[in-house]
Structure 1
Amino acid sequence: MNLPVAQSVTHDHHPSLRVVLSYDDRFLRRKVLTADGGERFLVDLGKTASVNGGDAFVLDDGRRVGVVPAEEPLLEVTGGDLVRLAWHIGNRHTPAQIEPARILIQRDHVMADMLGKLGATTREVVEPFTPEGGAYGHGRTHGHDHSHPHAHDHGEHDHAHG
């Protein structure tokens, strides 16, 4: 059985199909997914991509499958100095959805304990998670393990680590 194939992603707020994906599942290159209604399709992108709500996979038959962020277990952070709390969250390279009165992060008892000691109030919630894009886009973070030299090309400037 041949599955429809998606080799590109675009923006489309009125797709013909939808697929509900968690934050972790929205970072992909090649994977079989199941759209609403049970239709399976193959995502086969040229490179790993991070997709979000409003994005759509373009199938080889012309249909578009819209991405819907799944509801998932999160930790709501409120109270205290949100700017200071956001700094501590970011310092640990933790993806965060920052809103005017709260910050959402993936559930983590160690982070909850640390944030509580910093004066935050935390509450477990179940909601879609769409963290800030940051330097690498779409909330994806990269650790600082520089055990091997590597270079980055950022268009107008290059730099190496190592």
Structure 2
Amino acid sequence: MLVLTRFVESAERIDDTLLLTFELRQKSRLRTRAVSGEEVGLFLERGQPLRDGTLLAAEDGRVVVVRAAAETLSHVVAASPTELARAAYHLGNRHVPVEVGDGWLRLACDHVLIDMLARHFDVTLSTVEAPFNPESGAYGGGHHHSHGQEAEFHYAPKLHQFAKAHP
């Protein structure tokens, strides 16, 4: 098994490719197969999603490039830039991963969201097969809800971490 353990910025050669859906690119621990058919294990630092084009290095020095696999997506085109911005705002308010293109939005197919968009916005909806590369968020590394020090996890971006009040 090829074991991938670290991210690299560049490589002289690429030895294989991992073709992964958006859902699988969120995982830091994964057992899968490369395009060549070789079994691959991911053992990466948590919290850094794999983007299309990410390079990963194996313990034996080989380098693998991550590619976004085509998925069935909802493609949204609006009648105006304002209407597209409104749709994006409401999807973001629901913490939906959204890919933003030049005049369009893409999201994973979800009949509830599609119904909301169709009812409340002047948009044209279609289904496409394409790689899904949603925005990673303003702080990178995804979005988390941490509600105080007693929460199960507390790792909000530094901007949102406040010092304890002193008496």
Question: How high is the TM-score relative to the length of structure 1?
Answer: 0.84
Where does 1:6-21 land on structure 2 (aligned, <5 Å)?
A: 6-12=4-10, 15-21=14-20
Are residues 1:129 and 2:118 paired?
A: no
Are residues 1:59 and 2:61 paired?
A: no
Residues in 2 aligned to 1:155 and 1:103: alpha-carbon distance in whole angstroms: 30
Q: Secondary structure at the match of 1:23?
A: coil
Structure ranking higher in strand proportion: 1
The one-character-per-residue Cα deviations of 1:1-30 (angstroms, maximum 9, x if unpaired) are xx2321112244752210100000001122
Aligned amino acid, residue 4 of structure 2: A
Structure 2: gaps of 5 or more residues: none
Residues in 1 aligned to 2:78 and 2:122: alpha-carbon distance in whole angstroms: 7
Q: Secondary structure at the match of 1:50?
A: coil
Percentage of matched positions with identical amino acids: 31
- Equivalent position of 1:27 in the other structure: 26
- Equivalent position of 1:45 in the other structure: 44
Given the superposition, is the C-alpha separation of residues 157 and 95 from structure 1 closer, same or farther in structure 2, using an over 3 Å criterion? Answer: closer
Given the superposition, is the C-alpha separation of residues 29 and 48 from structure 1 closer, same or farther in structure 2, using an over 3 Å criterion? Answer: farther
Given the superposition, is the C-alpha separation of residues 134 and 70 from structure 1 closer, same or farther in structure 2, using an over 3 Å criterion? Answer: same
**Over aligned residues, Cα RMSD in angstroms?**
2.4
Q: Secondary structure at the match of 2:85?
A: helix
Deviation >2 Å, runs of 4+: 10-14, 46-49, 135-138, 144-157
Q: Secondary structure at the match of 1:152?
A: coil
Task: Tell me the number of residue pairs that the alignment of Structure 1 and Structure 2 aligns.
Answer: 156
Mean CA deviation greater in 46-55 or 31-40:
46-55
Given the superposition, is the C-alpha separation of residues 154 and 101 from structure 1 closer, same or farther in structure 2, using an over 3 Å criterion? Answer: closer
Q: Secondary structure at the match of 1:83?
A: helix
CA contact (8 A) 1:152 1:159 kept: no
Deviation of residue 137 (structure 1)? Answer: 2.2
- Equivalent position of 2:122 in the other structure: 119
Residues in 1 aligned to 2:106 and 2:158: alpha-carbon distance in whole angstroms: 32
CA contact (8 A) 1:94 1:141 kept: no
Question: How high is the TM-score relative to the length of structure 2?
Answer: 0.82
Residues in 1 aligned to 2:64 and 2:128: alpha-carbon distance in whole angstroms: 27
CA contact (8 A) 1:12 1:66 kept: no
